[in-house]
Every structure is written in C-alpha cells, then in structure tokens.
C-alpha cells in the first residue's frame, strides 16, 4: 500500500512537471490563416495590405510567461495590396526590395509588465525587428492566449496546445529606408501593424 501511494505521488509529480514545462509553438500555419496587416494612412492616400507568409517558433511556458523567447518571420514576397502596380512597387528596390531582403523578422529578447488572467497574458515584448536589412530594437505590446488541448479544434485529428499571439503597434517607414524620399502627404511615414497568429504544439 505504501509503495502504491509513493508511485502515485511520483506519477502526479511527473505529470505536473510535464504540464508546467515550456513548449515550442510552431507558427507555420498549413491553413494559411495567420496574417499580418499593415496600413499607411496619409492625408491624400491610404495604403493597406496584408501578408500571410508567417512562420517561426516561440517557446512559451504558461507557468512562467515572462521567460518567453522566440522569432517570428514573415516572407516579404507574401505582402499583398489590391492594386497590382502598387504591389509591384511594394516589392521593388525603393520599397521592400524583396529579392535582396526576402524575410522580415522579429526576435523577442525580454518581456516586461507581464500580467496573466486566465488563459490570457499581456506583456511589453522587447526584441529586434529586421526589415529591409535594417535591424532595430523595439518594444511591442503583446497579448498571448494559451489554449490547452485546443489544437484538435483547429487541426482535426491532432492533439496538443495552441498559442495565439496578437499585437498592434507602429513603426516609421523612414527608420528602415523604405522609400524615404516619398512625400508624406501621399505616403505616410507611420506604418500601423496588426498581427494575429496561432502556433501549434502537438503531442
């Protein structure tokens, strides 16, 4: 009887440790739903578009979200605007120069002001944004939603957890050498960015 109790306690401890262990979430979405949205709202003209070439890995521990690390990558060639001529310019040398700089990346370094309520964690994430070959440190407000055992709801016949990341922030076009000579009454210097992506940790 004593040995049985000890064994049960050991199994419970192992299960608790496994549940609390950090997990690696893969953000390459086979459904193509993950996306980033961008908007430049100048006085004379508004430009908006999206990108769905999202990938990357984030290590997240629901018991210690402040230790979160990871890197999100967006394929620059996946950025899309409805106007085909504008899209050609967007991918060209003056704008994103996607042939020379095929990836846009954000690598998280540290989290501050971490607050968790239920399945949601908010934090100010500091990391390096690399865009058109220019790397700058920025701080972004992020909301993490940890959905235990919900992978099967998104991807049938798969067991595991989901991590949803949402962020809204802005950057300066001129900081990254994106068509710096464009008149700001037609092309806003401020780029508003919105990110809504889900990563999977299969079991």
pLDDT (tens, 9 = 90+) of the chain, 203 residues, equals 545 444 444 444 444 444 558 999 999 987 788 999 999 999 999 999 999 999 999 999 999 999 999 999 999 999 999 999 999 999 999 999 999 999 999 999 999 999 999 999 999 999 999 999 999 999 999 999 999 999 998 888 889 999 999 999 999 999 999 999 999 999 999 999 999 999 999 99
Distance CA 162, CA 144 (A): 10
Total count of residues recorded for the chain: 203
Strand partners, 140: 125
Distance CA 26, CA 192 (A): 25
Q: How many CB atoms lie within 10 A of CB 73?
A: 19
Question: What residue ranges in the chain does DSSP mark as E strands?
Answer: 23-26, 35-41, 46-51, 54-60, 69-75, 79-80, 103-117, 120-131, 134-147, 160-172, 190-202
Task: State pTM to two decimals.
Answer: 0.87
């Amino acid at each position: 009887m004593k040995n049985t109790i000890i064994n049960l306690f050991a199994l419970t401890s192992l299960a608790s440790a496994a549940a609390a262990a950090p997990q690696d979430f893969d953000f390459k979405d086979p459904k193509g739903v993950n996306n980033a949205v961008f908007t430049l709202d100048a006085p004379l003209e508004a430009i908006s578009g999206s990108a769905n070439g999202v990938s990357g890995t984030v290590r997240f521990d629901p018991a210690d979200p402040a230790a979160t690390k990871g890197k999100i990558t967006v394929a620059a060639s996946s950025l899309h605007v409805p106007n085909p001529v504008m899209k050609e310019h967007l991918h060209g040398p003056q704008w994103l120069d996607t042939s020379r700089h095929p990836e846009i990346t954000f690598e998280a370094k540290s989290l501050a002001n971490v607050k968790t309520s239920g399945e949601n964690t908010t934090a100010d994430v500091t990391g390096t944004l690399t865009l058109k070959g220019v790397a700058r440190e920025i701080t972004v407000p992020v909301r993490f939603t940890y959905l235990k055992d919900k992978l099967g709801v998104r991807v049938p016949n798969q067991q595991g957890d989901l991590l949803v990341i949402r962020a809204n922030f802005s950057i300066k076009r001129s900081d990254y050498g994106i068509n710096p000579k464009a008149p700001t009454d037609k092309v806003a210097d401020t780029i508003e960015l919105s990110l809504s992506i889900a990563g999977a940790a299969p079991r």
